[in-house]
Amino acid sequence: MEKIKVGLLGLGTVGTGVVRIIERHQDDLQRQIGCQIEVAKILVKNIEKDRTVEVSKDRITTDPDEIIYDDEIQIVIEVMGGIEEARDYILRSLDQGKHIVTANKNLMATHGREIIKKADEKKCDVFYEASVAGGIPIIRPLVESFSSDRIHKIMGIINGTTNFILTKMSEEGVLFEDVLKEAQALGYAEADPTADVGGLDAAYKIAILATLGFHADVDINDVSVEGITKISKQDVQYAKQLGYEIKLLGIAERDDERISLSVQPTMVKKSHMLASVQGAYNAVYVYGEAVGETMFYGPGAGEMPTATSVVADLVAVAKDMKLGVNGLRESRKLSEKNMKSENEIFSKYFVLVHVEDEVGVMAQIAQQFASCGISIDAVIQQPKNDKTFTEIMITTYLTSKANINQVIRNFNMMKAVRKVASVYRMED
């Protein structure tokens, strides 16, 4: 091979970084691959747009077919985002025998199976390290480094926007709405922040991690999702009082072959490594039967970190091409999914209830936990101050999600309970 030609779908933030790295590190890349890499053609929406990276006009096109049906292009890098168009272009590129590198979590968490099946048929590589946690190498370690182990749990801070917001709320005691505005002004949050703060972005990523870590045929629809919009200043303060930080975690658990997947704000004990992850950084914690506790930390987004992962995948494809082993590296057989019911999902919980200031209320609250079979770890009645009601914080021992849901339903029917103000999963 004298030169490997690459087609790039998309020239936004990540695409720009990819062009930059391939140009800047051409010597290093050549040393590893043994030949030159050239970004031959780039699909864009608007040819005239000003760009921060120099690309000659003849390399830019608005017609995807100029990449898909160019026989000289052997590898397609998809960094345009979105689902339907990206899926179409990738499937047609695979039909043409082109290898795929993508950073598209939404696509891989919804149509990953279809894309990988087609790639296997065509003996093509499909790599997507950048789709989860940007610059952190997590997919390759999950697949290769833990190949000899059985992974039981994956917990990730896999959305930088929400971790930036939660870090600010914890450090400065400010309101969710106010930090969101600041995050938007700084470019850490989108104008429409729904996918981030609603937890959907994290849900795509935990679905991908669980597929790889558990070899299970799960997708985005298997993830129960709760965002961070309801977290109050007080919740953050109470968490701190107890020695915890509130983090939005994607959690994937497996016992025997039973799996549960969720995204939710979680109180994480301060001594846990995940509690130290600040600002827009990401981290993925992996618990394996033999290896025990590990964690992978780094930038979860951004032009250059994400582009680093994309180009590392590109190098992997190029090496496979040299060895003639594309599409043969992994056994991608997935076992059928076998999801846990709420009776099987166990955790510790934090519950905050607002109750009337009456004799015997505490006993009633405690009785409800007992009747649902939940053991209480600690109870704190907060000073009433100027409120017209009393606040009771309860932390539990391990209990099922079904039990916690039951006790909350019971509270909501009690005359002495004004409302269940907050419920958090706790991780020590």
Catalytically active residues are 205
Which residue in 146, 176, 204, 214 binds a second copy (CB under 8 A)? Answer: 146
Q: Report the half-sphere exposure of 114 (CA within 13 A, side-chain side).
A: 15
290 interacts with a second copy by CB under 8 A = yes
- Pick between residue 174 and residue 312 the one whose CB is nearest to a second copy: 312
389 interacts with a second copy by CB under 8 A = no
56 interacts with a second copy by CB under 8 A = no
To a second copy, the closest distance from the beta carbon of 291 in angstroms equals: 4
Bridge partner list, 354: 391, 419
144 interacts with a second copy by CB under 8 A = yes
Alpha-carbon distance of 202 to 104, in angstroms, equals 13
Which residue in 187, 192, 292, 360 binds a second copy (CB under 8 A)? Answer: 292
Which residue in 135, 199, 227, 265 binds a second copy (CB under 8 A)? Answer: 135
240 interacts with a second copy by CB under 8 A = no
The residue range among 24-32, 51-59, 73-81, 351-359 that interacts with a second copy, by the rule CB under 8 A, is 24-32
Which residues touch 249 (CB under 8 Å, ≥6 apart)?
A: 155, 156, 157, 202, 263, 264, 265, 266, 268, 274, 427
> How many residues of this chain interact with a second copy, rule: CB under 8 A?
57
296 interacts with a second copy by CB under 8 A = yes
Which residue in 145, 224, 381, 382 binds a second copy (CB under 8 A)? Answer: 145
Q: Is 122 helix (H, G, I), strand (E, B) or coil?
A: coil
Going by C-alpha positions, the residue among 180, 155, 156 that lies closest to residue 168 is 180
Q: Tell me 57's DSSP state.
A: G
136 interacts with a second copy by CB under 8 A = yes
The residue range among 75-83, 153-161, 254-262, 276-284 that interacts with a second copy, by the rule CB under 8 A, is 276-284
**Which two three-digit tokens encode residue 37?**
């890499």
Q: Report the half-sphere exposure of 83 (CA within 13 A, side-chain side).
A: 10
| DSSP H/E element including 407 | helix 401-412
Q: What is the rounded (10 degree) CA torsion for 76, 81, 85, 87? A: 60
250 interacts with a second copy by CB under 8 A = no
- Residue 190 in contact with residue 196, Cβ under 8 Å? yes
316 interacts with a second copy by CB under 8 A = yes
Alpha-carbon distance of 339 to 164, in angstroms, equals 31
Alpha-carbon distance of 297 to 277, in angstroms, equals 8
- Pick between residue 292 and residue 383 the one whose CB is nearest to a second copy: 292
CA 278 remoteness from chain centre: 16
Applying CB under 8 A, which residues contact a second copy? 17, 21, 25, 28-29, 31-32, 34, 129, 135-137, 140-141, 144-150, 215, 271, 273, 276-278, 281, 288, 290-299, 302, 304-305, 307-309, 311-312, 314-316, 319, 323, 325, 328-329, 331, 333
